[in-house]
Amino acid sequence: MPSPQRADRVEEPGRSARKRAAILSAATDVFLKGGYLGTNVDAIAAGSGVSKQTVYKHFGSKEVLFVEIVASMTSTAGDMVVGETSEPDDSTDLAKYLRAYAETQLTVVLTPRLMQLRRLVIGEVSRFPDLAKVLYERGPQRAMTRLTAVFERLATRGLLTVADPSIAASHFNWLIMADPLNRAMLLGDKAIPSPDALRRHVAEAVRVFLAAYATRPAPTRQVKAARRSRRPSGT
């Protein structure tokens, strides 16, 4: 049986996890507000209700904590985007499915906190060159990897005509993301679209995507005959 002194020094796993979560939450707020250089561990400790030594015990350094926050926030957002959504049964449900996916992606990504994180990571690329890679791999790349697999299955089922699913995924992603993301990144939170504006943007982007990639039904005999009748004589 451990001595009382030893037992005092053994932290319960649940309590340790709660402290770690509190540190991450407080550190996220402090980093996003002050940036990397403007953040000190004393402020993180005070915000999370633990000692400075406890912060270092869980994360080792301010740098490790910063990297953990970027990874955690990006992975959480990625989980929300990549969450399971039933794929369409037929072509009539395809546009609805793509709109739902795109609206989820934009709603998850275009938040003030994630925009702050992106700006912060871009500003710290020279100091932490791997951070942008973490954000990209756990965010956009993860979403496009899933879309590539989805589009490949939809093409196999005859709902899309896709020569290269990865290129189609990239086209879809940037039709959806490019304009609203650039505006929010460069113009600030006021440029984040309203729900109605977001839906209109998504509907138009999906329309353009399907104009390029939706499988067209084979023409009927009547359509073929009408086409022949419109040809100039002698052709």
Tell me if 192 sits within 8 A of 174, measured CB to CB.
no
Neighbouring-strand partners of residue 214? 160
pLDDT, one tens digit per residue, over 168-197 is: 999 999 999 999 999 999 999 999 999 999
**pLDDT for 216 beyond 60:** yes
CA triple 139-17-105, angle to 5 deg: 20
For residue 228, what are the CA distances in angstroms to 14, 63, 186, 220?
76, 70, 53, 13
Q: What is the mean pLDDT of the chain?
A: 86
Q: Which two tokens stand for residue 57?
A: 């015990």
**pLDDT for 84 beyond 70:** no
Q: Which two tokens stand for residue 51?
A: 């000692």
Q: Which two tokens stand for residue 188?
A: 């600030």
Phi, psi of 125 (to 5 degrees): -60, -40
Q: Which residue has the tokens 């039933």?
A: 86
User: What per-residue confidence (pLDDT) applies to 129?
Assistant: 81
Nearest to 105 by CA among 59, 135, 144, 136: 144
Interval 26-53 mean pLDDT: 92
Sequence spans of domains, the chain:
10-60, 67-216
For residue 5, what are the CA distances in angstroms to 2, 51, 161, 204?
8, 20, 69, 67
Q: Which amino acid is at 130?
A: D
Q: Which two tokens stand for residue 193?
A: 């679209």
Superfamily grouping for domain 67-216: Tetracycline Repressor, domain 2 (1.10.357.10)
**pLDDT for 224 beyond 60:** no
Point out the least confidently predicted range of 13-17, 23-27, 43-47, 55-59.
13-17
CATH number of 10-60: 1.10.10.60
Tell me if 180 sits within 8 A of 106, measured CB to CB.
yes
pTM score of the predicted model:
0.78
Q: Which residue has the tokens 């955690």?
A: 72
